[in-house]
A and B are shown apart, each in its own frame.
Chain A
Amino acid sequence: MNEYYDVLVVGAGPAGLAAAQAATSHGARVGLIDAQATAGGQVWRHDVRHAAPSLARRSIGGALTHSRVDWLARTQVVAVETGSLFVEDPRRGSRLDYGALVLATGARELLLPFPGWTLPGVTGAGGLQALAKQGWPLAGRRVLIAGSGPLLLAAAATAKRHGATVLGIYEQAGADAVRRFAGSLWRWPAKAIQAALLRGQLAGVPYRCGSVVRRALGDSTLRTVELEGPHGIEQVPCDQLAIGYGLLPNVELAQLLGCELRWEGAHPQVSTDIWQQTNIDTVYAAGEVCGIGGRDSARVEGAIAGHAAAGARSAAMALQPRRRHARAFAEALRTRFALDARVYALATPDTLICRCEDVALSDMDGYTDTRSAKLATRCGMGACQGRICGAALAELGRFSGGGQRPPLFPARLSTLGDTDFFPLATIEE
């Protein structure tokens, strides 16, 4: 199956949904693909028990039900060629050709290794949210939330809504930094409302600043978390630890396409101009993939990208002030939630760094570049394709990741071997 779309959007989170809708408003035929079964991205991830907020319902409905939008769920990008994406869904592989491409691939969590982080019962903060929304039972379980950034509040609220007993939220940033961040929220009313809402839902849940999880303890599953806070070290018995140190843009597809990246600290993000256009004329990027900014900047950037990709720059122009305002929030996030030095020193020599290939931190000693370390230890060669350990090693200042090759995600061999991506005549044996 080959299809052509005027505008092909990868990712159906707030950015991709807004892009799809904006592009259709100019008559473009739009393909919207997402690896997930339902649209909404991270923030509006489908919840099996609770209805979506009204903004989510409107955004999702508006894009998916439009007659000029093909919604391609559970569709994963495998490889790229100029002007086409090779994708697979649970049934088959296919080629999608495009006039313009919008990358709205969002972000994932930064997970940093510490002793015990691979124990069953330990997940990312957003990871726990996703599990809860999928219907994983949390009722009556004692959950401790830790790490850094506003996502911890959202994770705590989701856990609580799903019946968990949230023992506390342990933020690594100091109290001053958090207070300054909260104090600046009035500049972003939507954020302030979101934060206040979360506070309401989180009444009674302790919020502790300057606190770091040192270890997760337990034999076959998590039993206790050891924390270091302003008042010393304490051990807290619990059933579940949800811990995340912030978000990282999913730039792999952009990288495979050859888009220019910018480094924000140790991690890359896609660089664009004010039209959300990358250095490749036909490729646009919007939302978290261009730098962590949250839902509101994702929506406005998505709309700009959708308009511009459909050739309607004047509509995109009108959104510029909103874009600048929303992006300023990202800046506040970044400066307030900088990671504490203690966080970098948690992993001990025998802490696993690559859980796919069982590689410990000390196995990496003596290597100064990714490739040597990878060749010798296989770190990053497993099923996650280095997305977790690669980011952690970059964050820990060891070394940063390499290039991208297809398959972008593990892909079925039948997709690669049976799909008629190319005219048969060119490949017959």
Chain B
Amino acid sequence: MKTYDLIVVGAGIVGAACADYASAEGLRVAIVEPGPVGGGATAAAMGHLVAMDDDPAELALSRYSLELWESLSNLPQAEFSRCGTLWVASNERELASIPAKRARLAAAGVETEAIDSDTLYRLEPALAPGLAGGMRVPGEAVVYPPAVARHLVDRAVERGARMYSRRVAHIEYGGVRLDDDTRLQGPALIATGCALAQLLPTLPLRARKGHLVITDRHPGLVHHQLLELGYADSAHGDADSSVAFNVQPRPTGQILIGSSREFGSSTPEVSLPMVRRMLARSFRFLPALRQLDALRIWTGFRPVSPDGRPYLGRVPHEHQLWVAAGHEGLGITTSLGSARLVVDQLLGRATAIDASPYDPARVVA
């Protein structure tokens, strides 16, 4: 029987970040992942590193994480591109919401610029006429998430972490049992994303499906990650399905188009009605997209807790069991901060930001 200081279950971006940080802190780490590293939600993501300000806890975690991402900004395979985020206001009402948004972000230390409509079209000439203005967040970036997950796992393995290409079949007292019956001893950290319920059924989690479309290469059509200011309504509303304008220039010159959110579909098939709806929304902001070719369309599932915050910390009523899952549509961004928050708690250290909003105990009576 093998004994470890930490058994990380799941090697999406969250598990990978946990394994990386724990091994850097000198822990003997096991990583258990049956599929390709970063092959779950992580492979489907847009890879936009973004501070979301609609929930103070989420803002604190994304802000903390964005700082940590700087250490990976020169990693070639991360394809880190600091394109900045441009939030687009369609009308005066949305424009009027910008000062408060800027103030919240400024309070968290995120630098922003108010953009009037002339500047908007200077920055992004392809935008549809008639938009009111926007807000730019110059420091934000995009990455290629599965390659980052892979890098973090490789780095952990170089420090001595052991990779098991298996599935965890059960959690057992003092450890876990793999599907080939191997038993690993030690504290386990469950980072299985949407599959959380299989191992930790007491923590409620739903899967929210998303579609993305990638085009052929059109360098220079857009320069920033573009989002509509109404995005947060779509992202955090509880509607069964919604779409929002969310478009990203990839370093290759390709354009990645999102985003859709949908509960109630659990199969990975591409839904043409949903794609149509999502594209129709994006044409409204960026009519030039109509002429481009779609090369591929894919779907992914976001792991969603009831309050939209991830579970980060000790599993209630358990001593040796930890969790880092439920990052919804922000898990690439917040993976690095999440890892520190959980592993620092496990090591009995003070956390850099308040960990209580993410305490899994909040959902367990």
Given the known A-B contacts A371-B36, A371-B39, are A416 and B275 also in contact in the complex, defined by CB atoms under 8 Å? yes
Given the known A-B contacts A369-B36, A371-B39, A417-B279, are A412 and B294 also in contact in the complex, defined by CB atoms under 8 Å? yes
B215 near A381 (CB under 8 angstroms)?
no
Question: Is there a chain A Cβ closer than 8 Å to B158's Cβ?
Answer: no
Number of residues on chain B facing chain A (CB within 8 A): 38
A419 near B36 (CB under 8 angstroms)?
no
B270 near A406 (CB under 8 angstroms)?
yes
Comparing B94-102, B107-115, B283-291, B329-337, the segment that makes contact with chain A is B283-291
Q: In the complex, which residues of chain A have a beta carbon less than 8 angstroms from the beta carbon of B273?
A: 421-422, 426-427
What distance in Å separates the Cβ of A356 from its nearest Cβ neighbour in chain B? 9
Question: Is there a chain A Cβ closer than 8 Å to B43's Cβ?
Answer: yes
A411 near B294 (CB under 8 angstroms)?
yes
Q: In the complex, which residues of chain A have a beta carbon less than 8 angstroms from the beta carbon of B77?
A: 376
B290 near A375 (CB under 8 angstroms)?
no
Q: In the complex, which residues of chain A have a beta carbon less than 8 angstroms from the beta carbon of B36?
A: 369, 371-372, 375
A413 near B289 (CB under 8 angstroms)?
yes
Question: Is there a chain A Cβ closer than 8 Å to B272's Cβ?
Answer: yes
Given the known A-B contacts A413-B279, A429-B277, are A372 and B272 also in contact in the complex, defined by CB atoms under 8 Å? no
Q: In the complex, which residues of chain B have a beta carbon less than 8 angstroms from the beta carbon of A376?
A: 77, 146-147, 150
The contact of A429 among B37, B243, B290, by CB within 8 Å, is B243
Chain A residue nearest to B165 (CB atoms) is A368
A416 near B296 (CB under 8 angstroms)?
no
Question: Is there a chain B Cβ closer than 8 Å to A385's Cβ?
Answer: yes
Q: In the complex, which residues of chain B have a beta carbon less than 8 angstroms from the beta carbon of A81?
A: 272
Q: In the complex, which residues of chain A have a beta carbon less than 8 angstroms from the beta carbon of B147?
A: 375-376
What distance in Å separates the Cβ of B58 from its nearest Cβ neighbour in chain A? 26
Q: In the complex, which residues of chain B have a beta carbon less than 8 angstroms from the beta carbon of A383?
A: 216, 295
B283 near A417 (CB under 8 angstroms)?
yes
B293 near A405 (CB under 8 angstroms)?
no
Question: Is there a chain A Cβ closer than 8 Å to B121's Cβ?
Answer: no
Given the known A-B contacts A376-B150, A383-B295, A410-B295, are A416 and B39 also in contact in the complex, defined by CB atoms under 8 Å? no
Q: In the complex, which residues of chain A have a beta carbon less than 8 angstroms from the beta carbon of B293?
A: 410-413
Question: Is there a chain A Cβ closer than 8 Å to B69's Cβ?
Answer: no
- 0 or 1 for each of B261-288: is its CB under 8 Å from A? (1 = yes): 0000000011011111101111100000
Question: Is there a chain A Cβ closer than 8 Å to B4's Cβ?
Answer: no
Q: In the complex, which residues of chain A have a beta carbon less than 8 angstroms from the beta carbon of B213?
A: 413, 416
Question: Is there a chain A Cβ closer than 8 Å to B298's Cβ?
Answer: yes
Question: Is there a chain A Cβ closer than 8 Å to B355's Cβ?
Answer: no
What distance in Å separates the Cβ of B289 from its nearest Cβ neighbour in chain A? 5
Q: In the complex, which residues of chain A have a beta carbon less than 8 angstroms from the beta carbon of B187?
A: none
Chain A residue nearest to B243 (CB atoms) is A429
Question: Is there a chain A Cβ closer than 8 Å to B297's Cβ?
Answer: yes
Q: In the complex, which residues of chain A have a beta carbon less than 8 angstroms from the beta carbon of B326?
A: none
Q: In the complex, which residues of chain B have a beta carbon less than 8 angstroms from the beta carbon of A273?
A: none
Question: Is there a chain B Cβ closer than 8 Å to A86's Cβ?
Answer: yes
B216 near A427 (CB under 8 angstroms)?
no
Question: Is there a chain B Cβ closer than 8 Å to A382's Cβ?
Answer: yes
- 0 or 1 for each of B146-186: is its CB under 8 Å from A? (1 = yes): 11001000000000000000000000000000000000000
Q: In the complex, which residues of chain B have a beta carbon less than 8 angstroms from the beta carbon of A413?
A: 213, 215, 257, 279, 283, 289-294
Q: In the complex, which residues of chain B have a beta carbon less than 8 angstroms from the beta carbon of A410?
A: 216, 293-295
What distance in Å separates the Cβ of B263 from its nearest Cβ neighbour in chain A? 16
Question: Is there a chain B Cβ closer than 8 Å to A407's Cβ?
Answer: yes
B296 near A86 (CB under 8 angstroms)?
no
Distance in angstroms between the alpha carbons of A407 and B243 in the assembled complex = 20
A427 near B39 (CB under 8 angstroms)?
no
- 0 or 1 for each of A320-355: is its CB under 8 Å from B? (1 = yes): 000000000000000000000000000000000000
Distance in angstroms between the alpha carbons of A369 and B270 in the assembled complex = 23
Question: Is there a chain B Cβ closer than 8 Å to A82's Cβ?
Answer: no
Given the known A-B contacts A413-B289, A413-B290, are A406 and B279 also in contact in the complex, defined by CB atoms under 8 Å? no
Within 8 A of B (CB), among A42-101: 79, 81, 86
Question: Is there a chain A Cβ closer than 8 Å to B303's Cβ?
Answer: no
Q: In the complex, which residues of chain A have a beta carbon less than 8 angstroms from the beta carbon of B283?
A: 413-414, 417-418
B279 near A427 (CB under 8 angstroms)?
no
What distance in Å separates the Cβ of A321 from its nearest Cβ neighbour in chain B? 42
Given the known A-B contacts A405-B296, A406-B270, A413-B289, are A427 and B146 also in contact in the complex, defined by CB atoms under 8 Å? no
Distance in angstroms between the alpha carbons of A81 and B277 in the assembled complex = 17
Q: In the complex, which residues of chain A have a beta carbon less than 8 angstroms from the beta carbon of B279?
A: 413, 416-417
Distance in angstroms between the alpha carbons of A275 and B67 in the assembled complex = 64
Question: Is there a chain A Cβ closer than 8 Å to B310's Cβ?
Answer: no
Q: In the complex, which residues of chain A have a beta carbon less than 8 angstroms from the beta carbon of B292?
A: 412-413
Given the known A-B contacts A382-B295, A383-B216, are A418 and B39 also in contact in the complex, defined by CB atoms under 8 Å? no
Question: Is there a chain A Cβ closer than 8 Å to B38's Cβ?
Answer: yes
Q: In the complex, which residues of chain A have a beta carbon less than 8 angstroms from the beta carbon of B38?
A: 375
What distance in Å separates the Cβ of B257 from its nearest Cβ neighbour in chain A? 8
A372 near B39 (CB under 8 angstroms)?
yes
B290 near A86 (CB under 8 angstroms)?
no
The contact of B276 among A375, A382, A422, by CB within 8 Å, is A422
Given the known A-B contacts A371-B36, A405-B296, are A416 and B215 also in contact in the complex, defined by CB atoms under 8 Å? no
What distance in Å separates the Cβ of B282 from its nearest Cβ neighbour in chain A? 8
Given the known A-B contacts A371-B36, A407-B294, are A418 and B280 also in contact in the complex, defined by CB atoms under 8 Å? yes
A418 near B290 (CB under 8 angstroms)?
yes
- 0 or 1 for each of B304-317: is its CB under 8 Å from A? (1 = yes): 00000000000000
What distance in Å separates the Cβ of A196 from its nearest Cβ neighbour in chain B? 44
What distance in Å separates the Cβ of A151 from its nearest Cβ neighbour in chain B? 29
A429 near B291 (CB under 8 angstroms)?
no
What distance in Å separates the Cβ of A372 from its nearest Cβ neighbour in chain B? 4
A417 near B297 (CB under 8 angstroms)?
no
Chain A residue nearest to B280 (CB atoms) is A417
Chain A residue nearest to B295 (CB atoms) is A410
Distance in angstroms between the alpha carbons of A375 and B45 in the assembled complex = 12
Q: In the complex, which residues of chain B have a beta carbon less than 8 angstroms from the beta carbon of A412?
A: 290-294
What distance in Å separates the Cβ of A371 from its nearest Cβ neighbour in chain B? 5
The contact of A421 among B216, B276, B295, by CB within 8 Å, is B276
Within 8 A of B (CB), among A376-429: 376, 381-383, 385, 405-407, 410-414, 416-419, 421-422, 426-427, 429
- Pick 21 A–B contacts, CB within 8 A, sort by A: A81-B272, A371-B35, A372-B37, A375-B147, A383-B216, A385-B296, A405-B270, A405-B297, A406-B270, A406-B272, A407-B296, A407-B297, A410-B216, A410-B293, A411-B294, A412-B294, A414-B290, A416-B213, A416-B279, A416-B297, A417-B282
Mark A residues whose CB is within 8 Å of B.
79, 81, 86, 369, 371-372, 375-376, 381-383, 385, 405-407, 410-414, 416-419, 421-422, 426-427, 429
- Apart from A375-B150, A385-B296, A417-B276, list 12 A-B contacts with CB within 8 A: A371-B36, A372-B36, A375-B146, A382-B295, A410-B216, A413-B257, A413-B279, A416-B272, A418-B290, A421-B273, A427-B273, A427-B277
Kindly list the 6 A-B residue pairs having the minimum CB-CB distance in the complex, ordered from nearest: A417-B279, A372-B36, A414-B290, A410-B293, A375-B146, A427-B273
Mark B residues whose CB is within 8 Å of A.
35-39, 43, 77, 146-147, 150, 213, 215-216, 243, 257, 269-270, 272-277, 279-283, 289-298
